[in-house]
């Protein structure tokens, strides 16, 4: 009943608060024999790290990960891997003003109501800082995938910021790493830069949509009916701070399609594996991977900490107006890209292990042969 844990066989427990001494991930169930170093994990943390450009919070954290257990002579041992990140920049004085007032749209008030504890230092456990631990765990998951299923490739990118979406016709995989928004559409990137500049100056924030794609995932992963691959992905993405919607393949738009339109027709590929005419399904049928790309999208709401005055109440029950100063992201969705990738990596690895336990055989080996 560990509610700070996710995963079945690759099980990640995150711990730590925004302004405590440290935070981290206790990862249980990583297979032995996976080559891993701190710098391999650091690579992904650096991608998420705040303060890298003017579109993300100016809080500066080294976000240096230490491996405290589970690794010996450069390889995992099969025992729990403890990944710790010390908090270095804990300027909690910035938050003095919100010790009493609840921020509209923020978890301040519900944490207070539930736990009766007001950890006003940057949101405590509800802070997006918790996602650093997810990214660290995701780095380990990627390393394990590199050993067990090297053909799996996981890439996240932004498709929408506020009213501005990408143009799929301009989709370019190579563009993703070339702009601060990890978007495959260079034109959109330029547009967003201007748009966010304006927002930031006005002290406002905005939501975003992130898409994460896993390519090279073998058919057969997923554990119907309550550990379906899409079920676990939906939970993984919805658990990320500020996420309000999750879609697989066509997502909500599937409601608008007819059965004829939605049917991804099946052909036999040259390698004897099924080939599909389209991917409305997002790579998952009946909760099980088809071998096509796994496509997940999620929407992140705008940061609730803004410079715009909003009505609220205090812990003492008084009406108040609140303006949240401090260092916040005008679009927290940007930093959600590596987080979404990390969750995808963890879920895919977990289901590879689970499939192996339930069905046996090598990864990517399916029981039912076609042809």
Told to check if 333 binds a copy of itself by CB under 8 A, we report yes
Told to check if 252 binds a copy of itself by CB under 8 A, we report yes
Q: Which residues contact 127 (CB under 8 A, 6 or more apart)?
A: 17, 18, 241
Write the DSSP assignment of 153-168 as a string of letters.
Answer: EEEEEEEEETTEE--G
Work out how close the CB of 21 gets to a copy of itself at its nearest, in angstroms, rounded to a whole number. Answer: 5
Q: What distance in Å separates the CA atoms of residue 290 and residue 216, rounded to the nearest whole number?
A: 11
Interaction residues for a copy of itself, span 71-100 (CB under 8 A):
72, 75, 77-82, 84
Binding residue for a copy of itself (CB under 8 A) from 45, 288, 342, 344?
288
> Is position 286 annotated in a ligand binding site?
yes
The count of chain residues that interact with a copy of itself, using the rule CB under 8 A, is: 166
Binding residue for a copy of itself (CB under 8 A) from 52, 58, 204, 279?
204
Structure tokens at 91: 């300027």
Structure tokens at 259: 């059965």
> Is position 301 annotated in a ligand binding site?
yes
Does 225 sit behind a cis peptide bond, omega within 30 degrees of 0 on the bond before it?
Answer: yes
Interaction residues for a copy of itself, span 132-171 (CB under 8 A):
148, 160-163
Work out how close the CB of 272 gets to a copy of itself at its nearest, in angstroms, rounded to a whole number. Answer: 7
Work out how close the CB of 247 gets to a copy of itself at its nearest, in angstroms, rounded to a whole number. Answer: 4
Nearer to a copy of itself, 174 or 365 (CB): 365
Q: Which residues contact 138 (CB under 8 A, 6 or more apart)?
A: 44, 338, 339, 341, 342, 343, 344, 345, 346
> Is position 118 annotated in a ligand binding site?
no
Q: Which stretch binds a copy of itself (CB under 8 A): 42-50, 52-60, 181-189, 261-269?
A: 261-269
Q: Which residues contact 203 (CB under 8 A, 6 or more apart)?
A: 306, 307, 308, 323
**Which residues sit in the known binding site for FMN?**
125-127, 241-242, 286, 301-305, 327
């Amino acid at each position: 009943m560990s509610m700070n844990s996710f995963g079945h066989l690759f099980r990640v427990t995150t711990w730590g608060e925004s302004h405590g001494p440290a935070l981290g991930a206790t990862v249980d169930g990583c297979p032995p024999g996976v080559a891993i170093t701190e710098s391999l994990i650091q690579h992904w943390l650096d991608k998420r790290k705040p303060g890298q450009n003017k579109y993300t919070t100016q809080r500066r954290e080294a976000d240096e990960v230490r491996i405290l257990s589970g690794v010996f002579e450069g390889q995992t041992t099969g025992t729990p891997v403890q990944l710790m990140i010390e908090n270095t920049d804990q300027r909690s004085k910035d938050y003095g003003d919100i010790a009493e007032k609840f921020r509209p749209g923020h978890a301040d008030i519900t944490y207070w109501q539930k736990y009766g504890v007001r950890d006003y230092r940057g949101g405590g456990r509800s802070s997006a800082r918790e996602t650093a631990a997810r990214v660290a765990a995701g780095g380990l998951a990627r390393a394990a995938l590199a050993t067990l299923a090297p053909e799996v490739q996981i890439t996240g990118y932004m498709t929408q910021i506020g009213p501005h979406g990408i143009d799929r016709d301009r989709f370019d995989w190579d563009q993703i790493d070339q702009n601060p928004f990890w978007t495959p559409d260079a034109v959109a990137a330029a547009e967003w830069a201007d748009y966010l500049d304006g927002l930031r100056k006005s002290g406002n924030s905005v939501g975003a949509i992130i898409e994460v794609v896993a390519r090279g995932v073998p058919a057969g992963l997923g554990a119907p009916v309550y550990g379906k691959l899409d079920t676990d992905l939906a939970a993984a993405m919805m658990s990320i701070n500020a996420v309000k919607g999750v879609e697989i393949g066509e997502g909500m738009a599937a409601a608008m399609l007819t059965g004829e339109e939605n049917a991804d027709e099946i052909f036999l590929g040259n390698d004897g594996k099924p080939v599909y005419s389209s991917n409305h399904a997002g790579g998952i049928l009946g909760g099980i991977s088809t071998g096509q790309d796994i496509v997940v999208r999620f929407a992140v709401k705008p940061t609730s900490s803004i410079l715009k005055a909003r009505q609220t109440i205090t812990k003492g029950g008084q009406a108040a107006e609140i303006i949240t100063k401090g260092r916040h992201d005008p679009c927290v969705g940007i930093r959600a890209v590596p987080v979404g990738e990390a969750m995808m990596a963890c879920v895919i690895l977990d289901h590879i292990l689970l499939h192996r336990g339930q069905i046996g055989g090598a990864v990517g080996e399916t029981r039912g042969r076609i042809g």
